[in-house]
Chain A
Amino acid sequence: MRKSVLDHLLDWSGRIVLISILGFVLLPFVVVAIASLNDGAILSFPPKSWSLRWYANAFEYRDFGAGLVNSLRIAAVGATIALIAGAGFAYVFNRYDFMFKGLLNTVLMSPLIIPNFTIGLGLLILSTAASLPRSIWLVIAVHVVIVLPFVVRSVYVSLKNFERRYEQAAESLGGTPLHVLLTITLPLLLPGLISGALFAAILSFNEFTASLYVVNQRTQTLPVAMYNYVREYADPTLAALSVIYVAPVAAMLLLVHKFFRLEKVLNVD
């Protein structure tokens, strides 16, 4: 079939709209990336001379390295805990009816409406009252509370769309409920579980406000380390770091993509 002029026009205007949207989304990143190459010690735009020295500085600054390690550990452990707890909650919500189900649901989802700094402050007051040390576990606890609703949602949706006939067929073939859960339900839900954990990890990796209350010098996360840096220096190191920052997130996405098709995990397929 031949395309009419109108089709071509739509084709092209569609492309232009798409590119503009992409450009708009990527614009902040592009600006920061350009600013990071500025040779001068003042963060200015556009740069007058070019250099990579701020990248070297970002790598050499001790707090950033430590913050990155902390952030990765917190994201990994927090996302794992949130995945296990969230999947459990979602399963119970989907499969069982019990008293106060609605109430429990509201409580679980409340971090979505309670500001992150409230959560951070609340847990800080609690841990001080209970004279718990301000260890990395406190930070992890804060992050779990914040990301749990996202994991519960994500797993719950996968469970809702799950075809119960698979489980019934497996049961009729002699599978005990536990065996069916392990060999049928979990493998088929894996993309949903992975996507839940992935979002949790990325959210946790980016979290700043709540972390600010509960970290100390030893446990500070990368965003907090960056915040502390910017209070003292105004050079383009942070711009360089922001570019580097994308790497771990992209790595997480690529890792998932290697094992599962990302489109499927992100439900855009």
Chain B
Amino acid sequence: MLTEISAIAPQDTGEDTAVQIDGVSKSFSGTVALEPIRLKVRRGEFLTLLGPSGCGKTTLLNLIAGFLEADEGELFIDHDLVTQVPPHQRKIGIVFQNYALFPHMSVAQNVAYGLRTRRVPKAETAERVREALALVKLEDFADRRPRQLSGGQQQRVALARALVIRPRVLLLDEPFSALDRNLRSAMQVELREIQSRLGLTTVFVTHDQSEALSMSDRIAVMSRGRIRQIGTPSQIYDRPENHFVSTFVGDANLFAATLLEKTDATASLDIGTTRLSLATFQEELPEPGPVTLFVRPEQCSLTDPDQPGAIAATVALSVYQGSYAELHLDCSVAENGRVMLRVPASEAMEPGTDVGIALPERGPAIYTTTERET
């Protein structure tokens, strides 16, 4: 028995892993919701699962929580194998989008629930409930019913209820999507503060990329039941590894191009009639042939249309955004016919103006065109 367990125990990689997901997959009556997932969440880390609707984020969270049984693979929490452990023994804190506060209990009773199930003595329970409510600034609301609270307050009660049991991992499934914009950013800051103060390992689910970029230590970008890239927000934004990630996170300009030749440092391509030589951050480039060239708006600049190396475009629309203006350009070699870049508001141009787009020599990425998907 012992040897069996040690055979599948996670290897010590030096850094402390709080959650290890080892080839866990899930199908629902034949439809694959999650391909085998490999993922390590570090202790104290704020990890975000980011992806479009239906990509399997909630499924993955439910597997970690134990509400679903994995088809295959193993799951470790704090190095314990928990694949077969029922949810009530996993010691995981959960916050749902709709809060799921128990409507027949007061705020204090809601928060105390996880202590009562563990038979924590009365005095200690009262003390810890008070602490937890203080943490989310709701000391004065202990005797209210959940329906007598605003959405933001209910969200905080849900957070206090999950934190009071001192969970090994905190899971949050789109907790802020029902809140209005101001409240949402306030709650984001508050959650992040509490999380880092407690050093709490956190897995956060969202389909809001700006929420993911601003809150996370690392982001796992998912699509169609797979993790497409995992890295820090700046790695995800600046060095997207594939077509999907590049378009899902941040704004992207994509050009249909032909890769002619690649060397270690540079690639030469044709974009329409323009020939360019570029250096990318990628370690591996696709094979020569039709490719997609990816450039962030802030990496593009405007030049004269006749400038060598410039890509011809026409201003279609200028959108005033206060401190800057978004220029939407018609461009025949762009994959969707449009290119967007930002200019100071004072430099906005009239629709119909012919311009040239200058691409940077370093920074853009080249993806195989076949990889396009949602």
Contact = CB atoms under 8 A, between A and B. Distances in A.
Interface stretch (A7-15, A35-43, A174-182): A174-182
A48 interface: no
Interface string B102-137: 111000000001100110000000000000000000
A166 B88 contact: no
A174 B65 contact: no
B100 A174 contact: no
A172 B87 contact: yes
Interface string B77-117: 00000000011111111101010101110000000011001
Contacts, number: 64
A184 interface: yes
Contacts of A171: 66-67, 86-88
Contacts of B90: 172
Given A171-B88, A172-B88, A187-B104, A179 B96 contact: no
A188 B101 CA distance: 12
B165 interface: yes
A63 B337 CA distance: 91
Interface string B230-268: 000000000000000000000000000000000000000
Nearest to A165: B100
Q: Max chain A CB contacts within 10 Å: which of B66, B87, B90, B158?
A: B87
A173 interface: yes
Interface in B37-77: 65-67
A69 interface: no
A168 B102 contact: no
Nearest to A179: B117
Most chain B CB within 10 A, of A166, A169, A171, A180, is at A169
Interface string A141-179: 000000000000000000000010110111111111101
A175 B161 CA distance: 13
Contacts of A188: 102-104
Nearest to A183: B113
B165 A173 contact: yes
A166 B102 contact: yes
Interface string A176-203: 1101100110011000000000000000
Contact of B102 (A170, A174, A176, A179): A170
Contact of A169 (B66, B96, B104): B96
A175 B113 contact: yes
B114 A174 contact: yes
A172 B92 contact: yes
Contacts of B88: 171-177, 180
Contacts of B89: 174
A166 to B, nearest CB: 5
B292 to A, nearest CB: 41
Contacts of A170: 102, 113, 117
A173 B89 CA distance: 9
A166 B98 CA distance: 10
Nearest to A173: B114
A173 B96 contact: no
B103 A168 contact: no
Contacts of B162: 172-173
B100 A166 contact: yes
Contact of B87 (A166, A168, A179): A168
A61 B341 CA distance: 95
Contact of A173 (B86, B98, B117): B117
Interface string B151-176: 00000001001100100000000000
Which of B66, B92, B117, B161 has the most chain A CB atoms closer than 10 A to its own CB? Answer: B117
A171 B94 CA distance: 10
A260 to B, nearest CB: 12
Contact of A165 (B98, B113, B161): B98
Nearest to B97: A165
B65 A168 contact: yes
Contacts of B117: 170, 173-176, 179
Contacts of A175: 88, 113, 117
A174 B104 contact: no
B169 to A, nearest CB: 10
Contacts of A165: 96, 98, 100
5 contacts: A169-B161, A170-B102, A171-B66, A172-B162, A187-B104
8 residue pairs, one from A and one from B, having the closest CB atoms: A173-B114, A174-B117, A165-B100, A171-B87, A169-B100, A172-B94, A175-B117, A171-B88
Interface of A: 163, 165-166, 168-177, 179-180, 183-184, 187-188
Given A169-B102, A171-B66, 4 more contacts: A165-B96, A169-B161, A172-B88, A175-B113
Interface of B: 65-67, 86-94, 96, 98, 100, 102-104, 113-114, 117-118, 158, 161-162, 165
